[in-house]
Amino acid sequence: MSKQDIIPEAIASVTYTLETPNGYNILFTVRGDSGATLLEAMKQTIEPTLVKEGYKPQIKSFGAPKVAKPKEYSDKPCPLCGARLEKGVTKEGKAFLKCEKQTFDFKTKQRSGCPHFEWITA
């Protein structure tokens, strides 16, 4: 019989994702009899001890931050309102021009503002 079979599952637990003082990434799980007791221990004992011992929160990075691509505009104005025509490309690679005053609501799938839109054909 293993310890896992003998020790019952904890009512509350918290897992810290940490970097050790030597730079290793670790998971550190603390279990408790109640959420309130565990939260108090986190505040009074666990976290101050981790900081004192030189442990740091592990910073997770999921790639480079997204940088908005600068908008490109056509040389010709919108034939309906005279504003600039914005160049764009769909996910499928089809090029288009749309009035810069046009907006699209992705939730309702509706356009508003100037309705001018045209496909660019080579």
pLDDT digits (tens, 9 = 90+) for 16-75: 999 999 988 899 898 888 889 889 999 999 999 999 999 999 877 677 677 778 999 999
Q: Cβ distance 66 to 81 under 8 Å? A: no
51 shares its domain with 81: no
Any alpha helices (H) in the chain, and if so which ranges? 3-6, 35-41, 47-52
CA separation for the pair 38, 24 (Å, rounded): 25
Is 77 inside any structural domain?
yes
Is 100 inside any structural domain?
yes
Specify the pTM: 0.44
The domain tally of the chain equals 2
Is 2 inside any structural domain?
no
52 shares its domain with 14: yes
Structural domain boundaries enclosing 83: 72-119
Is 114 inside any structural domain?
yes
52 shares its domain with 80: no
| 19 closest CA partner among 61, 62, 63, 54 | 54
Is 80 inside any structural domain?
yes
